[in-house]
A and B are shown apart, each in its own frame.
Chain A
């Protein structure tokens, strides 16, 4: 018992003792541990800081991207969103005038909780905006926001979106552009002939609406045919190719294997579904049995096509043209590089005679617009044509040819008549080497000058169609939609080259006398864009895949038109906007 007590006492004493190396070991372990902790902290601090900065930078970038997508979304819902500037009907917390970022939108998660990320949108004024109005001005929207002079950006507007996360910022600039008439090498609303191609209606036989009823989509308009034939549709035929993006609001007629587009980047949009929702937008239209189009471009089904409606007229250009560049009556413009020769017809009020006045070395208008005012009392017919080239002085027609080196838009209240090559400096491959773009806008027709002989020898004493045989044994060419035998006339254009974007707002792009004359004049070479309310296909007449009259098309899209357009080129009534370019930019200097 005594031994046990003594042992326990001894053990307790040892436990209570403070001598030994326990403390040394403990201090050593603590020292090393603290060193490791310092090292770990150093590592963690460095890496956490880098990771946090990296994460914040990414968040800021995506916040900036969210700002652009937000604006694009609003534009998709309301094509006029830009017109509100910073005061849209539904408040947008992120909208700022240029130079401000005080208004910011907070990004939230699905539950509405803030993610501590924000974005601010600045509406950037056009570089061509007036110096005293450098902000989005709803009362002067076009001048303040739409780029008019910057090469590669004409017709666009820009926003700047800055994303914020932590103390990081990222800024993106997006250029918005709308799908418009110059976005396609071929644009039409109706793929049927303009009512003018039927000649003068024989009123006693045909009701007044016999041809105007053709102004409907395929399946809704009367079928091609009847006596006299009406609603003649256009067909893309074997051997033809559409060398660029294409858009028609209508159904397309196809015979054989025409080629649509050049690459996947060319959208081929047939906008009218006929009969069934999954309609492909083209068919043989009951005329052609073999329908095997080749789509090099991206065929877009009617259900996916966004409608592009032409404006009611080109009169809006009349309001922006500078007085010195508004002409009245027949006008002829010869482009000579950076200047032009302008001949304008005037009527002597006393003698009722027409005289022309020519100005040489006229500078291009500063805002790039020339407008020829005046309607025409004689309805146009391509047969003859009517009115004759020598009898249209009172019409608001503009004749144009020559070479241009600056951008220009020539518009006419009546017709634009191309009476010679329209060229611009190009390389050996025929690709333009400058930024100069030419726009031709006609309220009614954009026409290719193609005179034929009024009198021509009869064949075996007979004339074709309704052409009259006169006492001299000659045929006299008359206005008739039927095929004619009149030969090509003096001054016909051989292999005409047209570097331009053409738009016929209420009618079509057409060749005068397209059903006359031997096909010995080569191709109608267009490098640009061709747009009309009715089909632009009436440039010649085919028998099978062989041209028998007029010109076959050789139309190629000018890719420069993807990024800019001729000055003040007309836009569709309601255009869908899209982001054309997205680049990083320096962060705003002034912070709110």
Chain B
């Protein structure tokens, strides 16, 4: 076991780092610190990005879930027409109602009135964000002949802000609302009992009365973007924030039939 021997001579020596060594060391220090700070900055930004993404995800999912639940409560009578005419790729018009509680704290048997909902997507432009706005009207009339006076002022609420159309893998914008029906015997290459994968309307077309009567599935697809960040969608740091969400509701009370059947929405057979 040796022990370093400190000599007085060595302690008295005054030579040290040369200027060059010092400059090199400082440069290296600055470089390393710079890299570290950059990484720290990037990481902090990423945490913010992630937080915003999670927030967008959360609000988007909640809005979508609520919409889906409402669609799942749209078969209010057998053979009814849950989706209403004039629905488009940007406007979903449907009826829905949930079972309110009766005096016994149980879901009530009667639905004396139901609601017509109109969910409209308005694309953002400039500093204006894309939004989902829902209008609703309460019915009059006798079940199942519910009537709606759309001239009356509806109840209105903003469902979600920061909404954009989703881009698919082919860089095409996916419609917000898509409507599907079951194959019919008169269709070419009909597979009875299955949904025709081609949406009923496209572009700005509106569902007409006959088409609306046949809608048995609605798909909702959108991208939720953190507030105020829509226009940074394609920037390096904004690119990861939007959350693409999609869900669909099949409007049937029983499984579809492969037999000689039209498989209309809310049909019991």
| The stretch of A21-29, A312-320, A373-381 that contacts the partner chain | A21-29
A409 to B104, CA, bound (A): 28
Please report the total number of A residues contacting B with Cβ < 8 Å: 66
Minimal Cβ-Cβ distance residue in B for A174? B253
A168 to B261, CA, bound (A): 36
| The stretch of B1-9, B69-77, B121-129 that contacts the partner chain | B69-77
Q: Is the CB of B269 within 8 A of A578?
A: yes
Q: Is the CB of B107 within 8 A of A46?
A: no
A265 smallest CB distance to B (angstroms): 4
B180 smallest CB distance to A (angstroms): 17
Interchain CB contact (< 8 A) of A580 among B58, B78, B145, B260: B78
Q: Is the CB of A265 within 8 A of B79?
A: yes
Asked if A32 meets B46 with Cβ closer than 8 Å, knowing A150-B109, A563-B77, A578-B268, the reply is no
Q: Is the CB of A583 within 8 A of B97?
A: yes
In this assembly, does A336 line the interface, its C-beta being within 8 Å of a C-beta of chain B? no
Q: Please name all residues of chain B whose beta carbon is closer than 8 Å to the beta carbon of A38 when the two chains form the complex.
A: 43, 47
Q: Is the CB of B50 within 8 A of A46?
A: yes
Q: Is the CB of B77 within 8 A of A562?
A: yes
Q: Please name all residues of chain B whose beta carbon is closer than 8 Å to the beta carbon of A173 when the two chains form the complex.
A: 99, 107
| The stretch of B33-41, B149-157, B165-173 that contacts the partner chain | B33-41
Cβ proximity bits A161-188 to B, threshold 8 Å, 1 near / 0 not: 0000000000011010100000000000
Q: Is the CB of B78 within 8 A of A562?
A: yes
Asked if A25 meets B109 with Cβ closer than 8 Å, knowing A35-B39, A42-B47, A580-B78, the reply is no
Q: Please name all residues of chain B whose beta carbon is closer than 8 Å to the beta carbon of A42 when the two chains form the complex.
A: 47, 50-51
| The stretch of A6-14, A202-210, A432-440, A521-529 that contacts the partner chain | A432-440
Interchain CB contact (< 8 A) of A298 among B32, B99, B262: B262
Q: Is the CB of A24 within 8 A of B43?
A: no
In this assembly, does A589 line the interface, its C-beta being within 8 Å of a C-beta of chain B? yes
Interface range for B = 35 or more
Interface centre among B54, B57, B73, B106 (most CB of A within 10 A): B106
In this assembly, does A200 line the interface, its C-beta being within 8 Å of a C-beta of chain B? no
In this assembly, does A61 line the interface, its C-beta being within 8 Å of a C-beta of chain B? yes
Which positions 23-69 of chain B face chain A at CB distance < 8 Å? 28, 32, 35-36, 39-40, 43, 46-47, 50-51, 53-54, 57-58, 61, 65, 69
Q: Is the CB of A158 within 8 A of B77?
A: no
Number of contacts between A and B (CB, 8 Å)? 163
A433 smallest CB distance to B (angstroms): 7
Interchain CB contact (< 8 A) of A50 among B61, B102, B254: B61
B96 smallest CB distance to A (angstroms): 8
In this assembly, does B105 line the interface, its C-beta being within 8 Å of a C-beta of chain A? yes
Q: Is the CB of A25 within 8 A of B111?
A: no
In this assembly, does A47 line the interface, its C-beta being within 8 Å of a C-beta of chain B? yes
Asked if A152 meets B268 with Cβ closer than 8 Å, knowing A50-B57, A54-B65, the reply is no
Interchain CB contact (< 8 A) of B253 among A25, A158, A582: A582
Q: Please name all residues of chain B whose beta carbon is closer than 8 Å to the beta carbon of A580 when the two chains form the complex.
A: 77-78, 253, 268
Interface centre among B57, B107, B267 (most CB of A within 10 A): B107
In this assembly, does B20 line the interface, its C-beta being within 8 Å of a C-beta of chain A? no
Q: Please name all residues of chain B whose beta carbon is closer than 8 Å to the beta carbon of A298 when the two chains form the complex.
A: 261-262
In this assembly, does A43 line the interface, its C-beta being within 8 Å of a C-beta of chain B? yes
A294 smallest CB distance to B (angstroms): 16
Q: Please name all residues of chain B whose beta carbon is closer than 8 Å to the beta carbon of A69 when the two chains form the complex.
A: 254
Q: Is the CB of B254 within 8 A of A301?
A: no
Q: Please name all residues of chain A whose beta carbon is closer than 8 Å to the beta carbon of B143 when the two chains form the complex.
A: 151-152, 435, 560, 563-564
A31 to B32, CA, bound (A): 12
Asked if A152 meets B75 with Cβ closer than 8 Å, knowing A43-B53, A585-B98, the reply is no
Q: Is the CB of A24 within 8 A of B32?
A: yes
Interchain CB contact (< 8 A) of A301 among B57, B107, B145, B260: B260
Asked if A50 meets B111 with Cβ closer than 8 Å, knowing A31-B36, A562-B77, A582-B73, the reply is no
A42 to B35, CA, bound (A): 23
A135 smallest CB distance to B (angstroms): 11
Minimal Cβ-Cβ distance residue in B for A175? B109
Known: A263-B213, A580-B253, A582-B253. 20 other contacts (CB 8 A): A46-B53, A50-B57, A98-B106, A126-B109, A147-B109, A150-B109, A152-B110, A160-B107, A172-B72, A267-B269, A435-B142, A435-B143, A560-B143, A564-B143, A578-B78, A581-B77, A583-B99, A584-B69, A585-B98, A586-B107
7 smallest A-B Cβ distances: which pairs? Answer: A152-B143, A46-B54, A578-B268, A150-B110, A150-B109, A43-B50, A35-B43
